[in-house]
Amino acid sequence: MVVVAVAAPLIAPFDPDAVDLNAFLSSPGTAGHLMGTDGAGRDILSRVMFGARLSLLAPLVVVIVSTLLGTVLGLACGWLGGAVDSFLSRVIEFLFAFPSLLVAMLAVALFGPGLLAPTIGLMIAYTPYTARLVRNLVLQEKARPYIEAYRVQGYSGTAIATRKIVPNISPTLLAQSALGFGYVMVDLAALSYLGLGVQPPTSDWGVMVAEGQDALVQSVIWPVLFPCLAIVAVVIAVNIIGDYIGEKLTGGSIA
């Protein structure tokens, strides 16, 4: 799917935004449209290919930023402890009170619909998950004998935390991030479906599902079916990757 997204301009059979009212809701396989066309006569296969770009890139950005922010907060909580841990833990618990979709909707209310606002909202919403995981991992590592050994050798607390602890917990973080990608992707697709995310006529899987729902009244399912299958396929794939990383690198599956 990543290869398809990158090579979409080269391999897409049609212009994803080209409207052809003569090909209105054509069946899959008709006139070279392998997945049929939507209500505006646009080729669904081409739109799925181009839609993979935003549908994969935006969740990736959210996961990377939320993982980095969560790692910094969790590391500060677990390593520094005391008042810093108490204060940041309360902030993290406060953020946990708000569902990710609600945070994204609040961001849309402040900045308006589009891709930027939901992305920022989900970055904030998913940061506490990583922060709590990192805090727990750091507390476990902090109690291990090798930490005291590094202290005796003259390593500073910052060096131990950043150069020793972070590499040790990175496999678990990587596995958790892979699993989180699927959740973020579904959230962004839901926001686009609701009209709060990517706006039509931009090719995006959530937008395609929203645009295709009118065709369901006419018992035409392919404008909705194929983008839904793309979402399901990617979510299953990243979950398999996350479980594999969990089993091979951390010695157990990440829940």
Picking from 103, 108, 123, 113, the residue whose alpha carbon sits closest to that of residue 202 is 113
Domains in the chain and their CATH numbers? Answer: 61-199 (1.10.3720.10)
Question: Residue for token digits 């990158």?
Answer: 6
Q: What pLDDT does residue 253 have?
A: 42
Q: What is residue 9's predicted lDDT score, i.e. its pLDDT? A: 92
Spell out the per-residue pLDDT of the chain, length 255, in tens: 999 999 999 999 999 988 888 888 888 888 888 898 988 889 999 999 999 999 999 999 999 999 999 999 999 998 888 888 899 989 988 888 888 989 999 999 988 888 899 999 999 999 999 999 999 999 898 888 888 888 888 888 788 888 888 888 888 888 888 889 999 999 999 999 998 988 888 889 999 999 888 888 888 899 999 999 999 999 999 989 888 877 776 554 444
Of residues 103, 100, 51, 3, the one with CA closest to residue 209? 51
pLDDT at 51: 93
State residue 249's pLDDT score. 67
Categorise residue 253: left if φ over 0, alpha if ψ from -120 to 50, beta otherwise.
beta
Q: What confidence score (pLDDT) does residue 85 get?
A: 87
Confidence (pTM): 0.88
In one-letter notation, the amino acid at residue 102 is: L
pLDDT of residue 3: 93
Q: How high is the pLDDT of residue 72?
A: 93
pLDDT at 64: 95
